[in-house]
Every structure is written in C-alpha cells, then in structure tokens.
Structure 1
Amino acid sequence: MAVRGFVSYWILPVISSLVWCGMLLGLLLYWVVDTNSEHYSYMDKGDNIAFISDIGASKLKPLFIAGSAVTTAFLDLSFAAERLLRHNGRLVPNTTGKEKIFAILSILFAIVGTCGLILLSIFDTHHHHRAHDVFLLLFIAGYIISAIFICAEYYVLGLYNRHHKVLRISFWVKIAFVIVEFVFAIVFVSTNWSNNENVAAVFEWIIAFIFTFYILSFVIDLLPAVRTKDHTMRFVKSLKHDMESSHSQDGNSSVQTGQYQNGHEEGVTRYNF
C-alpha cells in the first residue's frame, strides 16, 4: 500500500526516459556489437561513426519508430499532467495569465518536437534524407523552445512562491539543459554542414543522451503531487497572487506576494517543496 501511495504522475517521465535511453543504447550496441560498426551504404565514405538516424534506417527502424513514439507520448503526458495538477491544486498553481500562456506555449512546442521526432523516425535518412533533416530540426527546435517557455513559467511562478525550493531547482535544471543543448546543437549543425560528419555524429549522440536527463527533470516537478493526493492537503489560494511594489517612508521598497496553503484550515503548515 505504501508503494501504491508513492507511485503517482512522476512515473510518466521515468517511463519516457527509460524508453528513450533504452532505445539509444539498443541502437548503439546493435551497431557496435552486432554489426561490428558497419559502414552503411548510405553513409559517406569518410564516415566512421554512424548517426542515430543511420542505424535507425537499418533493420532497427521499427525499434526507432516505436521508441520515439512511446518516449514522446509519455513525455507529452507529463506536460499535460503538470498542467492539470497545477490547475487542481496538486502542485503550486499558476496565478497569472503570463504563467498560463508560457505553460500553454511550452506544451504546443513540445507537440511540435513530438511530431518532428516521430516523423524523422518514419522518414528515414536513407530514403527521405531532405525530409528527415527538416523533421530533425523540428524535433530539436521544438523541445528547446518548449524548455525556454517552461523556464519562463517557472521563473515567474518562483517569484511569487520563493519558499517552494522545487521551483528553483527545476528552473535551473531546465535552463542548464537549454544552454547546453543549444550550444551542442550549434556545434552539431556547423560540423555537419562543414562535412565533419564524425564530429557531428558524436555530438548527435551526446545531445540525444542529454535529452534523457531533461525528461527526468519532470520527476522533480511531478513528485510533490504525491503529498497532495488527499483533498485536504491540496493548495488553496489564501491571497491573490500579484506583485505590488510600494515604497515606505524611509525609501525602502517592499513586495507583497500572495501565498498558497496546503489544507483548507487556517494555520496549516505549507509544504516547502
């Protein structure tokens, strides 16, 4: 019963990350061990390291498609769960229109990234090279832009809820992902266009594995919902969340922020997560 009570929406990104990482390892080990680092006919002559898409266009194409679809399905469910839990008071709720807009935009661009990943796995680099590259761009850009909007949402949300450390932790984890992936994406594109395919292939694998940790970062967001399953422990708005700056007589400025409480009774201690 204790295990059942602990299992919650946080399991969604865990499943997504395990499927994604498992698929990548499956593709990589197949190419290294089973094919002895085979040089596929559709690879350039000087290529010694296969791109993920090169292996995904081989016999393991069904694995590539299935893994991509399952990964993005559970990741998108994580996005939807986070939005629903905030709306229902299971997580610190959004209280300004700006936060909600950022949340919606993050979901929309995540869907763009989802479509890009699934389509690039279907339109493989061997038979649909140009279309594959377009969908690869959609995948990378979609999830990076989505992460930027999530960071924006958490930044604003954190301004009104400074006592909830989980918001700061999640913000910094995701902003680190955005910066690292953006830099690596630039290196990947530049080396690919300059015909340094081996370097580009290495960075593609690095970008893909880092994406695993981005998916896992949603565990940080969804885990607090375990403690708010009971209706009496959910977040209840006690004051309107608006930030108003007022100047005192001595010239110092003070900021009034709204607060959320867990529980419907006054005096209930808030969870500091």
Structure 2
Amino acid sequence: MWIVSFWLFPLVSACMWVAMLIAMLVTWVTVGKPHYASMDTGQKIAYISDVGAQGLKPLFIAGSVVTVVFLDLGIISERWLRHAGQLVPNKGKFDKGCAGASIFFAIAGAAGLILLSCFDTLRHPKLHDGFLALFIIGYVISAILICIEYLRIGIFYRHEHRILLASFFIKLAFIIIEVGLAIGFGVCTGSNDTSKKDPGAILEWVIAFVFTGYVLSFMIDLLPSVRTRRHLPQGHKHMEMSQGGSNRNSEGVSIEEPLTYDSMGPNSGFYRGQRV
C-alpha cells in the first residue's frame, strides 16, 4: 500500500531534518542574532552547533536522533527488499558487499551526528569536532559505496529499470557537491583568520540543507517496492519479465500457455503450442 511502506523512512527523516534546521535558524534570527559564548570574536553568523549548544540543545539532539535513525532504516530496508525480491536483486557478492559496508558506515555517521549533538561545541569542542568529522566521513563513504552498488546493478538492468541509474547520478551529484562544500568548510573553520568564520558558518548551513536531498533520494529507491492495484513491486515485475522470456520457441516467438488443461474447447489437444 502507498500509505504505509518503506519509502516513509527517508521522508520522515528529511522532514525532521529540515524542520529542525529551520527552527534553529529562525530562532537565532528572531532573538536578534545573538553572539553566543561558543562563537569566536568577530564572528557574526552562528554555526548550527552554536545554536544547538544553547537553549535549543534538546531540539538538536531529538532532531538528530530521529533524522539518522529513520535514514538508516531506509538504507537497511533497501538491502532487505533486494534480498526479499521486492526490488531487483544484486548481481554478485561485490555489490552485496558494498551494500553491507554502506550500512556499516551509515550507522557510523549516525553515531557521529547523535554524539556531536550531545557533546556540544561550547563544553566539549574537541569531541564535538571529532564526531562532526565522523558524521560527514561516515555518510560520504556510505554514499560512495551505494553509488558503486547502483552503478553495477544499474548497468545490468539498464534497459528494464532505468531508475537505478537515475538514483546513481543523484547520489553521485550529492557526493561531488558535499565533498566540495566540506573542503571549503574545513578550510574556513581551520583557519586562524576570523574573517573566514562567517563564510564557514554559511557553508555549514548549506551542507546541512543539501544533505536533505540525499535523504530524499532514497524515496526513489524504495518507491518501486510498493504494491498497488496498478503497480507490481520492481522485483516481482522483473521476475515475471524473466519467466515470460522463457516461453519462446526457437524463432523467438512467444508461446502462450493454455487457459485450461481439459479436453474441451478450441485448445483441446494442444500444450505449449504443440499438438499432443
């Protein structure tokens, strides 16, 4: 059914993430853009971590937990649906290994976000920075492994299921954009020049909102598993296409099965197109 299905996991994750970011940004602006204790001298724009270390820390923790838990449930569901035949199966041990490793790094990234929200930048700056690196690196590596998996199965099923390659290119775009932004963010935050702190804060907010697109991309992966009156799950459709291709004669002409096997009717005495 469309109402309750696995595609809701990334949708809930993305909605929670965006709602949390907007609430934190609007709150900081509406209270007069205060200069928090965790901000550097001369810094005018607050980082997400600066806002999250103050009165909105409970929201930061709760939003981070819900976001990564539902995102990782979506990633795990994709692997399970391929194994269960709801989505087209993997084609070898290598892409199955990539899928399994992507789950491991996604869980590591999730742990990084949860821990950085708990160990805030005001009271635990070093731990916070370490968990931030774990969050970014974990999900980037997970995305790379998922791209490898989707490239392999997308090429194999390129004629029947083009959505696989579409998902690959979306995730590849996310990797390229996020890595580029993360490099710029690292340069700005690691510099002793205070004039680069504000650009670093802007980059952090942009990175966070772009991450929403990556989360939503898993809806594209999970929607084909939905069964409705007019739509078969991707894996079932693929199986039917494979079985349908086997009922062909030596000239490649499809041979229909008889509707009945009794001795009455116009198909009497025939089986698989041959007189018996």
User: 2:12 aligned to 11, 15, 20, which one?
Assistant: 15
**1:266 and 2:241 matched:** no
Q: In 2 relative to 1, CA 233–57 (structure 1 residues): closer, same or farther, beyond 3 Å?
A: closer
User: 1:96 aligned to 92, 96, 99, which one?
Assistant: 92
Q: Do the aligned residues in 1 keep the contact of 2:110 with 2:135 (CA within 8 Å)?
A: yes
**1:139 and 2:139 matched:** no
User: What does residue 179 of structure 2 align with?
Assistant: 182
Structure 1 residue runs of 4 or more that deviate by more than 2 Å after TM superposition:
4-7, 227-230, 232-237, 260-268
User: What does residue 244 of structure 1 align with?
Assistant: none
Q: Which string of whole-angstrom CA distances, capped at 9 and with x for unpartnered residues, describes residues 180-239 of structure 1?
A: 000000000001111311010000000000000100000000000113899x866369xx
Distance 1:220 1:228 in 2: 16
Q: Do the aligned residues in 2 keep the contact of 1:234 with 1:263 (CA within 8 Å)?
A: no
Distance 1:142 1:68 in 2: 15
User: What does residue 207 of structure 1 align with?
Assistant: 207
Stretches of structure 1 lacking an aligned partner (at least 5 in a row) = 238-259, 269-273
Q: In 2 relative to 1, CA 265–156 (structure 1 residues): closer, same or farther, beyond 3 Å?
A: closer
**1:221 and 2:199 matched:** no
User: What does residue 126 of structure 1 align with?
Assistant: 122
**Deviation at residue 45 of structure 1 after TM alignment:** 1.4
Distance 2:18 2:187 in 1: 25
User: What does residue 191 of structure 1 align with?
Assistant: 188
**1:148 and 2:150 matched:** no
Secondary structure, aligned partner of 2:170: helix
User: What does residue 169 of structure 1 align with?
Assistant: 166
User: What does residue 253 of structure 1 align with?
Assistant: none
Stretches of structure 2 lacking an aligned partner (at least 5 in a row) = 247-276
Q: In 2 relative to 1, CA 201–158 (structure 1 residues): closer, same or farther, beyond 3 Å?
A: same
Equivalenced residue count is: 242
Q: In 2 relative to 1, CA 233–65 (structure 1 residues): closer, same or farther, beyond 3 Å?
A: closer
- What is the Cα-based RMSD across aligned positions, in Å? 2.2
**1:52 and 2:48 matched:** yes
**1:26 and 2:23 matched:** yes
Q: Which string of whole-angstrom CA distances, capped at 9 and with x for unpartnered residues, describes residues 31-89 of structure 1?
A: 001x2101012211110000000000000000000000000000010011101100011
Q: In 2 relative to 1, CA 41–161 (structure 1 residues): closer, same or farther, beyond 3 Å?
A: same
**Deviation at residue 169 of structure 1 after TM alignment:** 0.6
**1:160 and 2:160 matched:** no
Q: In 2 relative to 1, CA 60–198 (structure 1 residues): closer, same or farther, beyond 3 Å?
A: same
Using the TM superposition, name which of 188-197 and 204-213 deviates more: 188-197
Aligned amino acid, residue 146 of structure 2: I
Secondary structure, aligned partner of 1:261: helix
Q: Do the aligned residues in 1 keep the contact of 2:85 with 2:236 (CA within 8 Å)?
A: yes
TM-score under structure 2 length normalisation: 0.83
